[in-house]
Structure 1
Amino acid sequence: MKARGRLGGIQWFNTWGPERRETVSCALSLLLVCVLSACAFVLPTSLLLFLVGINGLLVIHGLLCRGNIWGVVKLALIQLIITLGLYLMLYGIGSLIDGSVVVVRIVLATIPSWWLCITVAPERIGEVLSSFLPKKWAFVVAASLSLLPYMLDEIREIYQIQCLRGARITPKALRNPKNWSELVYCVLFPALILLLKLSHQMAVAAHSRHFGQHPRPTHWHSPRENDE
């Protein structure tokens, strides 16, 4: 009887179309990411090694899906330098281990989100979120995720152009805190202006397509995803 029930469940799952399976897979991935990110902050230090192993599997899977882990590595290095510096100034050299644990928790909370962005299309995330969030909120989250890779490339180009202009924002120059303000108005302000421009363009595009007027909006499923 139990074997027949399991077989029936498998057959029922196989009757789903590719679009339904993509949505269910995205929902499970989103739930996994939320659980792992929360565990990174609430688990005791003695259990972090187990969480490191799970995140290691996510990193391997993300790399196999042609993800770029370099951004997470740079974030970890920057966070390590800042956090350890603050702990050293405020609490002394004996607190460096505690500061390192804090950085490890932040990285462990970041890796699942990186993996989700690599393995799941933004429109799938928007479809799942729209099942329990207002449609416009889900659209904003999905649009933000889809813009993230483009914005990172644009920020990188802005940084390189400003360095060619002679701005004192190279890693060596940023060792001097006096140059930090130059990083703000040479890179962060132009990136913010670009983000506002892109947000306005996306809002105009959504309004032109009458987004929000239908009570049950549809979600795009790429034929390329179905073929894969």
Structure 2
Amino acid sequence: MQDKVVCTARLLNKTNACALAMVFSLLLSSSAFFITVEALWIVVVMNIGLVLHGLILKKKIRILVRLALIQLVTTLTLYYLFHGQGQLLEGAIVVLRVLLAMVPGWWLSNTQSPERLGQVLSWGLPHKWAFVIAASLSLLPFMSRELNEIYQIQCMRGARISPKDLRNPKNWSEFVYCVLFPLLIQLLKLSKQMAMSAKLRHFNERRRPSHWPATRDK
């Protein structure tokens, strides 16, 4: 009996910690867009701390770096074409803000289990919405692996999507056709399987559904 009480208290503390981490991530992501440029270094330092924490936990940051590089190249190219060289610094600041808004979500999804995120979200959201958001966050590692595998396979097939090839905007459409479309198809298949799994488990038939205890947490 005492062991059960201790286990319940431990799970409750972890759930509360997850709620605090979620609020912190939301506030930090929002501040990346609303804070002034002069005070942006504060958010940069805090995000560096989150990245270091993720690396200590041996979480992969490769997809985040790739997205940042793609965003940087695309945004600076558009700024150069439409505004000239004088606005490149402004474009770099825009990319920095977007990256700072992404890092807290990456950290949250890598440090908190999907089932605990769903439990916290169900405190203030309908259970369907909480399930969808938690399931979407749990798909981020899957998307990273699938994107890398699809990219490598298409490069082996001779698609012009290498970093050197993507410097030419004419090859961007090939990247969308060869990489993003197959990734979208994979996600649609997976979402259909998840919906079928939830239906077979009679999801949403209870007013207060139970949550699977996160026994995998260490």
TM-score past 0.5 threshold: yes
Unaligned runs of 5+ in 1: 1-13
Distance 2:102 2:145 in 1: 19
- Superposed CA offset, 1:43-79 (max 9, x none): 1111111111111111111111111222222222222
CA contact (8 A) 2:116 2:214 kept: no
Give the length in aligned residue pairs. 213
Give the letter aligned to residue 38 of structure 2: S
Give the letter aligned to residue 76 of structure 2: L
Instruction: Quote the offset at 1:84 in angstroms.
Output: 1.6
Give the letter aligned to residue 174 of structure 1: L
1:213 maps to 205
CA contact (8 A) 2:115 2:214 kept: no
Match for residue 89 of structure 1 among 74, 81, 97: 81
Instruction: Quote the offset at 1:131 in angstroms.
Output: 1.0
Aligned-pair Cα RMSD in Å: 1.7
Say yes or no: does 1:224 pair with 2:197: no
1:54 maps to 46
SS at match of 2:216: helix
Distance 1:188 1:82 in 2: 16
Unaligned runs of 5+ in 2: 1-5
Distance 2:120 2:33 in 1: 25
Say yes or no: does 1:195 pair with 2:187: yes
Give the letter aligned to residue 149 of structure 1: P
Say yes or no: does 1:101 pair with 2:93: yes
Instruction: Quote the offset at 1:181 in angstroms.
Output: 2.3
Instruction: Quote the offset at 1:16 in angstroms.
Output: 6.4
Distance 1:124 1:113 in 2: 15
TM-score, normalization by structure 1: 0.87
Say yes or no: does 1:176 pair with 2:157: no
Cα gap change, 1:101/1:62 in structure 2, threshold over 3 Å: closer, same or farther? same
Give the letter aligned to residue 177 of structure 1: P
Give the letter aligned to residue 95 of structure 1: Q
Give the letter aligned to residue 171 of structure 2: N
Please identify the structure whose Cα radius of gyration is greater. Answer: 1
Distance 1:47 1:221 in 2: 41
TM-score, normalization by structure 2: 0.91
1:151-166 equivalent positions in 2, closer than 5 A: 151-166=143-158
1:129-168 equivalent positions in 2, closer than 5 A: 129-168=121-160
Say yes or no: does 1:37 pair with 2:29: yes
Distance 1:86 1:177 in 2: 10
SS at match of 1:167: coil
Give the letter aligned to residue 127 of structure 2: K
Which range is displaced more, 59-68 or 210-219? 59-68
